Structure 1
């Protein structure tokens, strides 16, 4: 049996997403889909991982050569544990491995070691994978995070009650499926329940926190640990998708009904876009919501803001059945 332990500062590892390198030997993964990629020859792959739980069942995911992933539950809390991610790989050829975070701020985790094992030959870590040149970024909510995407029996239906996160998988969110089809990196700043403004939406209850607070954060849920700032110089996307407006009707669905509050939201939404455009002046911006049921007035407000820019680099996208497609989350194909 050959066994190779890889430290997380090994230069042959590639990272995608807002990964926290405060301790480079124990990088922390906070946002959904954030990942480490490697090329290897191995039969079995494990990680040493420490989980910081907020809610739900918590998982770490692995995909081999871009194929459908496997999720493994992390049951230990705040204690480092060794978790087997996959076994039985073909050691006659190299594999491209993606170890990724399937969930949003239901938890954070840090990885201190990746362990490669093989029975009949030497386990090997190969050269650093080349990352796609195209770059995307999404600022969104649970749909952008792939929440409840694996509940295929509930397609077109409300989410299963008490699902406890077992059906959530960022791999099957539209954002990551789009990135894979385009051959692009994706930084997915998506959080279930997030609205634009603080004190609205469903995230971080009962003291709700909005995208206006978390969009520029690395650690973004102080129910787990204190928030920290993100350095925007670390990543510049070509395309930015803003998919906010689904959760903003909580606690009050005022859009189109209260002129003053409606104007405040539209002004705040425009300011949010302006802030990101200052950071990414060359990027194409796509404004959208989802096919999850919601009031049309929110999409009308987004359309009004998009048109106010009078700029081809800011476009509003509507799905055919926008806001009317399903009462529950979007399921994987």
Structure 2
């Protein structure tokens, strides 16, 4: 016998841009979406429906400080995932989180613990600091666990099982800063629709993702996000690397029509963010993934054009030059440390509501 726990049980602390229109069946879309809690007993399981588009779906769980990765079957029916078994019958601390981006949506049905077990809120208070990231595969932690390929191109195989949002630079930085994080990141996302890598051949960019709670047309209709539900103190805009596909127009003709149009749309995106977040520190950046420096020059020029003292441009020490493949955990830790230092340089007042 097991005790069934609803996904909206008050003991569960959730974090992330979650579609909870039906609180009994919330849908996790974005990477690093999570729930944390304490429980007693020897077992823990989660029953879900995996809405799958591509890749090999995995879910992450951390129990008593130890991380685990569980494969989610590609099945449109409910499946029960055993997250832990044969634990000592004591109190445990757990966080369940979404490892991957919108390659799949995860519909939560229920948790199950031992019939006589108890569930309680996490032992530490919810962080008061709040961060939000708008990014691509790097911000999602895509392929970051393929550590033998650090500094090298990705091998031509499916590396989705090696994607782990927990070890992405933004998640590492948020934990170092004691902050919540909404990670609005999608592998292959450009800024603009019609270019990039996501949802080929009808490419979808961040301009069709950033204000949505669901956005992948392969998995159903889009839904708008209510920005009043979460107001970050720090916003990181980490896009502009995938826009070079299929044509690297910023490098080829910096003052051409396509490049000037991109810079204007980037400025519009920053102004739209400012409209929702009047006080936030907005940090514009790319990553250490190799790309032409013209994109960073374009971002710098656009930030200066917007002329907002709380919208700033940040470059990593190895920006755009560290690796031709996806950054691995080593590079994510390097980025996180530099980003934390930059955020801290702005003082503690940035965290004031």
Give the TM-score, by structure 1 length: 0.94
Cα root mean square deviation, aligned:
1.5
Q: Which region of structure 1 is more displaced relative to structure 2, 166-175 or 301-310? A: 301-310
Q: Give the Å deviation of 1:126.
A: 1.3
Q: Give the Å deviation of 1:185.
A: 0.6
The reply on whether 1:54 has 2:49 as its aligned counterpart is no
User: Counting helix residues as a fraction of each chain, which structure ranks higher?
Assistant: 2
252, 277, 290: which one pairs with 2:287? 290
SS in 2 for 1:116: strand
117, 120, 127: which one pairs with 1:123? 117
5 Å-filtered alignment, 1:157-172, equals: 157-172=152-167
The reply on whether 1:300 has 2:294 as its aligned counterpart is no
Tell me the residue number matched to 2:348. Answer: none
Tell me the residue number matched to 2:209. Answer: 214
175, 181, 204: which one pairs with 1:186? 181
Distance 2:122 2:214 in 1: 26
SS in 2 for 1:308: helix
Distance 1:210 1:68 in 2: 35
The reply on whether 1:236 has 2:231 as its aligned counterpart is yes
SS in 1 for 2:261: helix
Runs of 5+ in structure 2 lacking a partner?
A: 331-353
When residues 90 and 136 of structure 1 are mapped into structure 2, their CA distance, relative to the original with a 3 A threshold, is: farther
The reply on whether 1:141 has 2:136 as its aligned counterpart is yes
Tell me the residue number matched to 2:111. Answer: 114
The reply on whether 1:91 has 2:89 as its aligned counterpart is yes
222, 226, 248: which one pairs with 1:227? 222
Distance 1:261 1:151 in 2: 35
Tell me the residue number matched to 1:105. Answer: 102
Q: Give the Å deviation of 1:164.
A: 4.3
Q: Give the Å deviation of 1:30.
A: 0.6
Tell me the residue number matched to 1:44. Answer: 43
Aligned length: 327
When residues 300 and 217 of structure 1 are mapped into structure 2, their CA distance, relative to the original with a 3 A threshold, is: same
Distance 1:86 1:161 in 2: 33
303, 318, 326: which one pairs with 2:315? 318
Contact conserved, 1:198 with 1:208, CA < 8 A, in 2? yes
